[in-house]
Copies of this chain bind each other. A is one copy, B any other.
Amino acid sequence: MRVPFQTLCDTFYRVLTSVGYTGENARLCATLFAENQRDGVYSHGLNRFPGFVSGLHSKQIDYHATPVKIESFGALERWDGKMGVGLVNAHFCMDRTMTLAEKHSIGCIGLSNTNHWMRGGAYALQAAEAGFIGICWTNTTKLMPPWGSAEKSIGNNPMAIAIPREEGHILLDMAMSQYSNGKLEVLKIQDKTLPLPGGYDTSGNLSVDPAEILKSRRALPIGYWKGSGLALVLDTLAAVISGGQATHQIAEQKSEYAVSQVYIAINASGMMGAGILNETVEAIIKDFHSAAPLDENETVRYPGEGMLRTRLESLEKGVLVDEKQWQQLLEMQR
């Protein structure tokens, strides 16, 4: 079923107020959840909201907290998220990073002690909307085996990069695992296979069978050894730049909290002018779109293109929601 975007925002907000989380930040938090659903990022929208609200209830997430600046090093700052709402902390930090980039052309923030931001792409897009290049990544608990092991010991550390473009920003938003564990679980239950090899079976062969991959515990990092290496590097950078926890420390906790994140903004439109920026990016996309597709009914899509289509459809026809999840949400606000 589909519900109007504004209804989704308002319903999320009412649920938040029902647990005591009110005001501007709660409104922002509700909107970010609704936007994830609107943009087709169903893995980090409505389905995650009940768990998020539980986190508020249990006080694992402190909605009273706001980030505190710990250290200032010119164009780079360290902030402590104080275990506040991950989405709101992330939005705040990208905003602050843009302020640094306004002054220095490039700005960087390391954020420690924050909570799950849901969808990294949201904050990269926030920068692109304002004419900045936005780059951000987070570490996670141990979710993936490194190349050469079957023991989960590295994070999948999603990274998002957005570049402003008038007709639709370029947005790359990707975890370092080829498929998430959640995806493998869902396909296993549905008795479906993966479209492409996503890990090894228990005999050590590449496999499209989610059940086998979950059994072997050898899900693939993107690009085999390369994504495994990049995951380690992103975690190390997050810990070093923020001064916060690395994956190995997060994994010692009972659950995933107090993660570390990095935000980078580059004042692209300020440096070169919005017009030239857009011409440069547009020429690249135009050439990209000229590549002959393998399937003549398809087009070759830049990262973010599919999301934009989903967004426009959601705004026109309403946001797609799972009926059961939607009913659950309506009950939560009572």
Contacts and interface: CB of A to CB of B under 8 A. Distances in A.
Contact of A240 (B74, B149, B232, B277): B277
B149 A284 contact: no
Contact of A222 (B73, B222, B264, B302): B222
Contacts of A222: 222-224, 226-227
A294 B150 contact: yes
A230 B280 CA distance: 17
Interface residues of A, number: 75
Contact of A178 (B74, B172, B224): B224
A290 interface: yes
A197 interface: yes
A298 to B, nearest CB: 6
B163 A300 contact: no
Interface string A214-247: 0000000111101101101101110111010011
A146 B172 CA distance: 14
A196 interface: yes
Interface in A68-109: 71, 73-76, 103-108
Interface in A38-62: none
A259 interface: no
21 contacts: A74-B75, A146-B300, A148-B293, A148-B300, A149-B293, A151-B291, A170-B232, A174-B226, A174-B230, A178-B223, A178-B224, A196-B224, A197-B197, A221-B223, A222-B224, A222-B227, A232-B302, A232-B303, A236-B281, A243-B272, A246-B287
A-B pairs, 6 with minimum CB distance: A222-B223, A248-B287, A229-B303, A73-B105, A76-B105, A153-B291
